Structure 1
Amino acid sequence: MPVPAPVLHPPFNIVRLSHVDLHVTDLAWSRAYYVDMLGLQVTHEGNGSLYLRAMEERGHHSVVLRQADVPSVGVLGFKLFEEEDLDRAAHWFAAKGLPIAWTERPFTGRVLSTRDPWGVPLEFYARMDRLPPIHQKYALYKGVKPLRIDHFNLFSSNVDAAVAFYGEMGFRVTEYTEDAETGRLWAAWTHRKGGVHDIAFTNGTGPRLHHLAFWVPTPLNIIDLLDLMSTTGYLANIERGPGRHGISNAFFLYIRDQDGHRTEIYCSDYQTVDPDLEPIRWDLKDPQRQTLWGAPAPRSWFELGSVFQGAALQDSDLKATPIIAP
């Protein structure tokens, strides 16, 4: 299937991805991992929850960790341009026959809760509490020095359908992987904020969260993190990398916490602001698609992901496979 034409005037205006709600089985362990080791900043703690932001973020939080009996993902959040966009979004999702509810969230104004057609829990807001800037408080920088949340990547049982649905909301495709035998999309990268992606979709059993990603200053920060993880008890949490993607041109590292939630540490992609920017096509069998240089991805990277609360899993019928490390 061809990549759909971009919708340049969507029914409501999504500015960017905003936050993720991760359910974890040991909040103290997760605090040590995400705060002490990675370097995210605590903005609120209490009632079994931990709110975190990165160094350049002015919104109250981009990650919420919640104590739970089993690991899962509670919601993916997106910021809208203005309050009126919330009502436009509610009308659009209701017209699609999808559930809508107005939800109370700490540190946030009106919140619209819904799900996409595959059950992924989504929420939208226009106003979140703003915090003082800390990007020049260099004494606070530690770990990998995370600057901002960059994107989500989801396993999808039908990437073509996911791209079409999110495309109606104004997400524009920057790069995609096509299976030459079927002509179907195996993966696609879509954005709102002018980077390579805010949300991407990868073929597989879904919906599941493949990873969230944080932008860091330089590749050297990733090397420093590897030294830190390998000498402080987190060696087994390193899954893949470092390396450079063909898609997005990003320098990367993938790590997984003890609950299996995967984080990509990420830098060096490119600007995609122009509305007439042509998507870049990659063939699924191109060995430099996923890894321009570095070791091929391990099998875990293609098979393991975090489940969404309340979403039923469905296998993909596209059985094409990329290059997988032994």
Structure 2
Amino acid sequence: MDFNIIRCARAVLHVTDLDKSREFYVKALGFIETEADDQHIYLRGLEECGHHSLLLKKSDEAHVEAISYKVSSEEDLDRLEQFFTLKGMKTIWMEKGTQKGVGRALRVQDISGLPIEYFASMDQVSRMLQRYDLYTGSRVQRIDHFNCMVKDVEKAHDFYIKELGFACSEYTEDEHKKIWAAWLHRKHTVHDQAFMNGEGPRIHHIGFWLPDPLALIHACDVLAASGFGKSIERGPGRHGLSNAFFLYLRDPDGHRIELYNGDYLTSDPDFNPVCWDLDDPQRQTFWGHEAPDSWFNEASSVLDIETRKPLKTGEPTLKKRKPTFVI
């Protein structure tokens, strides 16, 4: 590859009420608020020294504007722009100074229609890792992954591996050996990017890493005591896929957040992807209650990178079966 994608790095969500969002993300979940104005809230985890990993933008409707990856250099951005242009994909530049905290960025509507952003530089702020006096709520540490519903998982899987240099850690296939869901990574954990079979393109959830399982349990207590008990959609529990200890939440606008801990290292060059059969019940819930229908059917809409209007979605290429999941 002529470019180096490092890791998932931030998400830009449109929300309808910044005050309600602050109550949820800062007071209940314990995100660090880097700064804010009457149109934006910039949030980060305790171990993050980048300006933010989650940007909440005030809007009349709730959508996902972009999910972002950090790359190694400014030259990587230029090479990515050339690459996507040659592939016939739509790109736009977000010049330095147009987004607070972030340098020049490239946005592309990817192979599945997802609005993906790449950037090389972000303003640095104080890392709060050892500010234990600030550990509240879920004690969220950092952004970990994106999970996206797409019409053709195998197409997305092949493009991200063969063209963008991602590696696969785990995947689910059906009886015809077609890929139903896939977990792909650039950093040396289970995933930066997951794809699940469904109506798309949509964003299913954004995952954030917690320091330990107890932090996840404590988050449930804080959410309930703060009046956000109904925001808990699924869990806590453990996935077979990735071995993750998980909790799924819906924010005040319905965006899904996963609190996540317990996956494993994938850095060895001879690591072989784990294949799960679609009919294996342990792949989705190693233990814990089954997911509700909303978990399989609902997701956040995404925006066109140029018009900023919601993209139309389409039915998946693989026929629907009994509910399945990715993490």
TM-score range, shorter chain: over 0.9
Bigger Cα displacement from structure 2, 35-44 vs 107-116: 107-116
Whole-angstrom CA distance in 2 between matches of 1:166 and 1:324: 22
The 3-state SS of whatever aligns with 1:134 is coil
Structure 2 residue 58 is matched with structure 1 residue 62: no
User: Aligned partner of 1:287: which letter?
Assistant: P
Structure-2 residue corresponding to 1:14: 5
Structure 1 gaps of 5+ residues are 1-9
**2:190 maps to 1:199:** no
Question: Given the alignment of the two structures, is residue 273 of structure 1 paired with residue 267 of structure 2, yes or no?
Answer: yes
CA distance in 2, matches of 1:323, 1:29: 32
Q: Which consecutive segments of 4 or more residues in structure 1 shift more than 6 A?
A: none
1:7 maps to which residue? none
Distance between the aligned counterparts of 2:53 and 2:26, measured in 1? Answer: 13
- Measured against aligned partners, the alpha-carbon deviations of 1:295-325 in whole angstroms (never above 9, x if no partner) come to 1111111100000012220111312424579
SS at match of 2:283: coil
Q: Which residue of structure 2 aligns with residue 178 of structure 1?
A: 173
1:99 maps onto 2:99 in alignment: no
C-alpha offsets along residues 255-280 of structure 1, whole Å, 9 cap, x if unaligned?
A: 10121100110001000012331100
1:146 is aligned to 2:137: no
CA distance in 2, matches of 1:87, 1:323: 41
Q: Does 1:243 align with 2:234?
A: no
Contact 1:299 / 1:324 at 8 angstroms: preserved in 2?
Answer: no
1:209–1:307 Cα contact (<8 Å) kept: yes
Structure 1: how far apart are the matches of 2:273 and 2:184? 10
Distance in 1 (alpha carbons) for counterparts of 2:186 and 2:216: 26
Partner of 1:89: 80
Q: Is the 8 A contact 1:207 1:308 kept in 2?
A: yes
Task: Determine the structure 1 residue equivalent to 2:315.
Answer: 315
Residue 20 of structure 2 corresponds to residue 29 of structure 1: yes
Letter in 2 for 1:107: G
Q: State the TM-score, normalizing by the size of structure 2.
A: 0.94
Q: Given residue 301 of structure 1, which amino acid in structure 2 is its aligned partner?
A: W
- Indicate conservation of the 8 Å contact 2:296/2:323, yes or no: no
Q: What does residue 159 of structure 1 align with?
A: 153
CA contact (8 A) 2:105 2:118 kept: yes
Q: List aligned pairs for 1:104-119, cutoff 5 A.
A: 104=95, 105-119=99-113
Distance in 2 (alpha carbons) for counterparts of 1:191 and 1:78? 11
Tell whether the 8 Å contact from 1:179 to 1:320 is kept in structure 2 after alignment. no
Taking only aligned residues, the RMSD between alpha carbons, in angstroms, comes to 1.3
Given that 1:296 and 1:324 are in contact with CA atoms closer than 8 Å, whether structure 2 keeps it comes out as no
SS in 2 for 1:288: helix
Is 1:49–2:40 an aligned residue pair?
Answer: yes
1:213 shift after superposition: 0.7
Task: Name stretches of at least 5 consecutive residues in structure 2 with no aligned partner.
Answer: 305-310
